[in-house]
Amino acid sequence: MAKNKKGRQSAANGKTAPKKTKKIDLLIDIIFSVLPATTQEEILEKVAKRWKGAPLDLGDISNALGHLRRNAVKYGWTVPYVGGAPTDKGRYFIAEVNPDGSRKKCSPQNVQHLRRGYERTKKTVARYDNNEGVALGILAPTLPAHLQSAAKREAHRMIGFSKDQMKMLADFSAKLDA
């Protein structure tokens, strides 16, 4: 691992994570230095070799990635949510973020990881909406009379929304494949 002018370790691509002081920030710095990786378990294994604090577990890595994704502009980089099989090599990777929040271009392999992540996220959100709509439809008759009609309408809307989302995803994916 190369060192920058201030003596801090930098990633293989020559970029250096900004200096932080909190535990989460230190953990994110180390994650920066060990990517790319194929699984969160691999990230944990690599980070554990460099971590000086209390033992870490997968929850720590997952929380750090979530924090990083919510604060990408602050850190100047993120690890995008990815889909695909857990064996897709290098699916956890550094995606640099400009100060305005836009992302810098990435490799064709990473674009495929991003696409699968997008599709997986859309399917998950649609499934949750459908499940919540069904649950609300079941709950509606148990509510006070003045709320039942509104609850049934909302349940129907949620189920319809999830179906629309799945159709939009299929249409968008077809355009990307064309």
Predicted local distance difference test score (pLDDT) of residue 88: 73
- Measured between alpha carbons, how far is 77 from 68 in angstroms, rounded to an integer? 8
pLDDT tens digit string along 130-160?
899 999 999 999 999 999 999 999 999 888 8
Quickly tell me which residue has 């939009």 as its tokens: 168
Query: In 10 A of CB 133, how many CB atoms?
Result: 20
Q: What is the pLDDT of residue 123?
A: 85
Q: Which two tokens stand for residue 170?
A: 């299929």
What is 23-105's CATH topology?
Answer: Arc Repressor Mutant, subunit A (1.10.10)
Q: How much is the average pLDDT of 95-123?
A: 79
What is the per-residue pLDDT for 15? 56
Strands (E), 30-140: 77-78, 95-96
Q: Alpha-carbon distance 148 to 155, whole Å?
A: 10
Assess whether pLDDT exceeds 60 at residue 16: no
Query: Rounded to the nearest 5°, which phi and psi values hold at 95?
Result: -120, 115
